[in-house]
Amino acid sequence: MKNMGRKYKKKIPRRPPKRIPSVFQCPNCGKRAVRVEIDRDDNVAKVSCGSCKISVEIKIPPICNEVDAYGKFVDMVYSGEITVEG
């Protein structure tokens, strides 16, 4: 005898939390192949695309993470600070 005389509670589906990606889309070739490696000792992030081989080292503050370094990389490509060969 389950819940005799009671209303059933509607179960609310839970969504999994959104995760920060580890591989990003390249602003040059459009493929999802950009990796960001952060060296916390020197406060430098190395951003490189595995497809078109574009690569750059960016100085970042200690509180920045991979997404922030990727954002700076995209800004540098669109502003023309990074020249794309080929």
Structure confidence by residue, pLDDT tens digits, 34-67: 999 999 999 999 999 999 989 999 999 999 999 9
Domain layout of the chain by residue ranges: 23-79
> What fold does the segment set 23-79 form as a domain?
N-terminal domain of TfIIb (2.20.25)
Residue 76 exposed, middle or buried by CB count within 10 Å (0-12, 13-18, 19+): middle
Q: Chain centroid to CA 45: how far?
A: 13
pTM, two decimals, is: 0.76
More confident residue, 86 or 85: 85
**Six token digits for residue 74:** 């995209």
Query: What are the strands of the beta sheet with 55-59, ordered from one edge?
Result: 23-25, 32-39, 44-49, 55-59
3-class SS of residue 57: strand
